Chain A
C-alpha cells in the first residue's frame, strides 16, 4: 500500500520535474525533481515515522500550510497572481511566448470546461468557435479596419451565437451522438474556411491583421502579449468561477448528473444547455480574437480536429469541472510538448505515453473537482 503510494508520488515528481527541465537546465531540473520528491513524499514519511513512535509535530508544517491555503484563499490567489505578473521578467522571449500560448489555452480550456466539465456535454468540435473569433477579427480588420478592442466583443459575441446555433439542433443528443455531431461541426467549419476563397482566401489564410494597440502604444513584444492574455485569463477565471457558484452553475451540474431529475427540479434544461454552449463558445471566441491579434495571420491550419482534442485533453487531464485543475492541465499540455522538443521524433510518442500514464495513475485529473475527488477516494477506502 505505502509502496504503491511512494511509487505514484515519485512518478509524479519525475513527471513534473521533466516539465521544468528545459526551463532550468539539467542540474536545476534534477534539483527540482529532488525537491518535488521530498515535498510529495513528506506526508508518507510522516506516516512512517509515526509508526515508529517518533513525534511528528515538526513535520506537520506541510499539512498546516495546506490548511492555511484553504483558509486564506484570497491571499493565496494574490500570491499566485503576483507570481504570474512578475514571471515574464525572468524569462527569455521564447519562454514568454510559450507562456502566452499557455494563456490562450487556459482561456479555451476553461471555456470548454463549462460545456464538458460542468454541464456534461461531450463536445468535440470546440476549436471551431476559436476559429470564429480569429476569423471574425481578421475579416473585420481587413475589410472594415475595425480595431482589436472593438473586434474583441464582436468576436466573443459571434462565437457565442455560433454556440447557440450549434447547440440548438444537438440539444436532444447525448454522449456519443453529441460528440460525433459536434466533431462534424468542427470539421465543417474548417472545410468552409479552407474552401470559401472569396471570403477567407482559403488555405492561404488572411495576412496583415493589425496588432492591438492602446493609444499610440502598439502591443508587439511577447511580454506585452503576456500581460494582455494574463488579463483575459484573470477575467475568464473570475467569470467562470462566479458562474459555477451561481444558480446557473448549479443547474449545469444538475443537468450533468441527471437530466430528467434536473427538469423535475424545475431547471429549464434546454435554456441551460444553450447557455452552456454559448458561454463556452464565447470564451473560445475571445481567445480566437487574441490569437489573430497575436499572430497577425490566420489560416485554417490552426483549427484542426487535433486542436479540439488537445483542449479536451486539458480539461480531462486537469480534472473535469475543476477550475484550478483545468488551468494546470492547460499549462502541462502546452509545456510538455515544448519540453519534449529535444527528443524530436519521439516527442509525440512520449506525449501520448505521458497522457496514458496520467490516466492510469490519476484518472480523476491533476486537481480533481471537490466532488469528484471525494467520490473516487471513497471508492478506494
Chain B
C-alpha cells in the first residue's frame, strides 16, 4: 500500500516541521541530586505549552537545561530538529531561545532602557532593535514612562514586565517563562497573562512554567504535569483543567 505509506511519511514530516522544540528522555543532575529523571515533551510552533508542578518538581531545571545554562546528563534536546545539547547559552539566544528567569532577575542598577538594550545584546540591527523597543513599550506602556528609572526601583509587577520585555528584545522564536505570576497581586497576574496571549499573536512559541495552574491552563494550548523530575500527565489544556487528579493537586478544588 504505497499510497498509505506515503501518506504516513508525509504526515509525519508535516508534524516534524511544525515542531520547534523536542525533549527526549532528558536527564539533569546537580551533583548527586537528579532533578530531571528523563522527561520528554514537545512544542509546536506558535503554541503556548505550560509546565505545571509543585515546588521543587524540576520546572526551573527544565528551562535552565533547555537554554543551556545547566547541562543535561542524558537524552536529547532538539530545537528546529537539531540537537542543541552541546550549544552554549549565548549561541542559543542567538538561535532564538530567550528565557525570563525565575524571580525576574532584572539588572537592578541599570535603567529600564539599559535593561531592554541588554536584551538585544546579541543583535546589531539598530533599526530592528528600535522597532522592537517600540513594540515592547506598546505592550508595556508603563516601561516607557519609567524608562530612565533604575530597574531595582520598579515594583514587582513592573520588574516582571521589564524581564519579559527584555527577553522579547532578543526577538526570540521560543520564549521560556519561569513563573511570571509569582508574588504578584491578582490584578497584575491578570495583566501578565493577557500580555502572554498578546505575545502569542506574534510568531513566538511559549513554554510557560507556572504554579498558578488554573491561570496557566486557561491560556495554554497544551500542558504537562511535572512531579519529582518526571512527567506524569500530558494533555490539552482544556482536558487537564477537567482532570480529577489535576483538580485535586493543582487547582485547589
Contact = CB atoms under 8 A, between A and B. Distances in A.
A251 B107 CA distance: 11
B45 interface: no
A116 B110 CA distance: 17
A374 B90 contact: no
A251 B120 CA distance: 12
Contacts, number: 68
Nearest to B110: A257
Interface stretch (B19-27, B48-56, B92-100, B131-139): B92-100
Given A263-B69, A264-B93, A264-B99, A247 B150 contact: no
Chain A interface bracket (under 10, 10 to 19, 20 to 34, 35 or more): 20 to 34
Given A263-B89, A266-B94, A374-B150, A250 B101 contact: no
Contact of B105 (A247, A251, A261, A371): A261
Nearest to B108: A257
A264 B89 contact: yes
Interface string A234-278: 000000000000010011011001101111111110000000000
Contacts of A261: 101, 105-107
Contacts of A201: none
A266 B107 contact: no
Contacts of A374: 150
Given A263-B90, A264-B93, A375 B101 contact: no
B217 interface: no
Chain B interface bracket (under 10, 10 to 19, 20 to 34, 35 or more): 20 to 34
A257 B152 CA distance: 10
Contacts of B99: 264
Interface string A358-377: 00000000000001101100
Contacts of B109: 257, 371-372, 375
Could you tell me the dominant secondary structure of chain A's interface residues?
helix
B222 interface: no
B69 A375 contact: no
Contacts of A247: 121
Interface in A339-381: 371-372, 374-375, 378
Contacts of B207: none
Given A258-B107, A261-B107, A375-B109, A267 B101 contact: no
A375 B167 CA distance: 24
B75 to A, nearest CB: 22
A23 B51 CA distance: 70
Contacts of A264: 67, 69, 89, 93, 98-99, 101, 105, 167
B58 to A, nearest CB: 17
A339 to B, nearest CB: 34
A265 B93 contact: yes
B90 A254 contact: no
Interface string B147-169: 00010110000000000001100
A242 B166 CA distance: 25
Nearest to B148: A374
Interface centre among B90, B117, B166 (most CB of A within 10 A): B90
Contact of B118 (A254, A260, A268, A372): A254
Contacts of A251: 121
Given A257-B110, A258-B108, A374-B150, 18 more contacts: A253-B107, A253-B110, A257-B107, A260-B69, A260-B105, A261-B106, A261-B107, A263-B90, A264-B67, A264-B93, A264-B101, A265-B122, A266-B89, A266-B122, A267-B121, A268-B88, A268-B90, A378-B153
Interface of A: 247, 250-251, 253-254, 257-258, 260-268, 371-372, 374-375, 378
Interface of B: 67, 69, 88-90, 93-94, 98-99, 101, 105-111, 117-119, 121-122, 150, 152-153, 166-167, 170
Q: Shortest 6 CB-CB distances between A and B: which pairs?
A: A266-B93, A257-B107, A266-B122, A261-B105, A266-B90, A265-B121
16 contacts: A250-B117, A254-B110, A257-B108, A258-B106, A258-B107, A262-B118, A264-B67, A264-B89, A265-B93, A265-B166, A265-B170, A266-B90, A268-B88, A371-B111, A374-B150, A375-B152
